[in-house]
Amino acid sequence: MIDWLPELLVAILATVLAITLHEAAHGYAALALGDDTAQRLGRLSLNPIRHVDKVGTLILPGLLLAVQLLTIGRVEAMFGWAKPVPVDVRRLRNPRYGMVLVAAAGPAMNVFLAWCAAMLAHPLQELSGVLPPTAMDLGVRFILLSIMANLLLGLFNLLPIPPLDGGRILVGLLPWRAAMALARLERAGLVIVMLAIFVLPRISPSLDIMGGLISLVTGPGFRTILWLAGHGT
d(CA 123, CA 23): 28
Separation between Cα atoms, residue 112 and residue 106, nearest integer Å: 10
How far is Cα 107 from Cα 86, in angstroms, rounded to an integer? 17
Residue of 23, 76, 126, 186 marked catalytic: 23
- What whole-number distance in Å separates Cα of residue 69 and Cα of residue 37? 40
Question: Could you tell me where the beta strands, DSSP code E, fall in 23-68?
Answer: none
d(CA 202, CA 198): 7
**Annotated catalytic residue 23:** yes
The DSSP line for 80-108 is ---PPPP--GGGSSSHHHHHHHHHHHHHH
Q: Among 80, 83, 81, 58, which Cα is nearest to 8's? A: 58
| Cα distance between residue 169 and residue 150, in whole Å | 19
Say what the alpha-carbon torsion angle 169, 175, 180, 184 is, to the nearest 10 degrees: -50
8 Å CB contact between 33 and 47: no
Q: Which amino acid is at 113?
A: L
Residues that are catalytic:
23
